[in-house]
């Protein structure tokens, strides 16, 4: 199990105060990783950190808006100053489609807002993390993990949600490129594509009987995913076990896309 021992490692998880992001944080902390939970809601951040520490983990929480480059730079600098390093960056913060709307009625502002958080936010966070990681690599400390939360919407046709799907497809392409570019520094880059997972973002859909009736029969596992289902993949991607695994897209959907 030493392959998965994360003692001494530090990871940033954006949107780590709930849902899949908290699942990542819980898995990492359980293996000894120090976690820095970033989110815009200070109350949710504190609650998430309490969950981590109550289970014996260690870390901190910071208010950060990933769509704001200055906010990201400040937060990343603060984490490095406090812990001396950032070994992993899980870019998980994102927003949903905000209600389906025909493409021809999509407003310019809705399009820009989606990209500002879901794509530009990943750019801001990964750039800050990669800069620090490559600087460490130049000093002989080659190690880094970049992990983005993408979506199955990047693979399927998502009618009336094109702006969301476009951001996630762009993330997939970014990950492949980063995996190639950053390999020389010992940095891997991978994306996770969740299926239907219980979270605040999906709560409305999962409370709709018609939606559940249509979707559940297509999930071979016959259940929606839980945030805890993402703890293990976070540990693997953060650990030495994944040192030669990069530029990949991990589909975690209970078999939905295969059926």
What is the pTM (predicted TM-score) of this model?
0.96
2-258 maps to CATH 3.40.50.300: no
Q: What is the pLDDT of residues 16-63, one digit of tens each?
A: 999 999 999 999 999 999 999 999 999 999 999 999 999 999 999 999
Catalytic entry in 24, 164, 185, 256: 164
164 classed as catalytic: yes
Report pLDDT for 98: 66
The band of 201, judged by pLDDT with boundaries at 50, 70 and 90, is confident
Name the residue with tokens 């989606």.
114
Domain boundaries, the chain: 2-258
As a whole number, the mean pLDDT across the chain is 96
Q: Edge-to-edge strands of the sheet including 144-149?
A: 58-63, 34-39, 10-14, 88-91, 144-149, 187-194, 248-252
Pair of tokens at residue 132: 């620090």
Name the residue with tokens 């939606």.
211
The band of 97, judged by pLDDT with boundaries at 50, 70 and 90, is confident
Pair of tokens at residue 25: 């944080």
Let me know: does 119 contact 167? Beta carbons within 8 Å.
Answer: yes
């Amino acid at each position: 199990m030493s392959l998965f021992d994360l003692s001494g490692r530090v990871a940033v998880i954006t949107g780590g105060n709930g849902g899949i992001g908290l699942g990542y944080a819980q898995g990492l902390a359980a293996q000894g990783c120090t976690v820095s939970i970033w989110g815009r809601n200070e109350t949710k951040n504190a609650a998430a950190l309490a969950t981590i520490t109550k289970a014996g983990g260690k870390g901190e929480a910071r208010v950060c808006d990933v769509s704001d480059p200055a906010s990201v730079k400040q937060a990343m600098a603060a984490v490095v100053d406090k812990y001396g390093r950032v070994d992993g960056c899980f870019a998980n913060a994102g927003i949903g489609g905000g209600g389906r709307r025909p493409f021809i009625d999509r407003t310019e502002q809705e399009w820009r807002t989606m990209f500002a958080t879901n794509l530009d936010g990943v750019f801001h966070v990964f750039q800050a993390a990669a800069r620090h990681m490559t600087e460490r690599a130049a000093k002989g400390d080659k190690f880094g993990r970049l992990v983005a939360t993408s979506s199955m919407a990047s693979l399927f046709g998502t009618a009336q949600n094109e702006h969301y799907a476009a951001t996630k497809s762009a993330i997939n392409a970014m990950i492949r490129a980063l995996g190639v570019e950053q390999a020389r520094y010992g940095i891997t880059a991978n994306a996770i594509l969740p299926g239907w997972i219980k979270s605040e973002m999906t709560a409305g859909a999962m409370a709709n009987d018609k939606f559940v009736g249509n979707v559940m029969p297509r999930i071979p596992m016959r259940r929606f995913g839980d945030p805890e289902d993402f703890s293990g993949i976070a540990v693997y991607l953060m650990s030495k076990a994944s040192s030669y695994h990069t530029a990949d897209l991990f589909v975690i959907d209970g078999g939905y896309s295969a059926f």
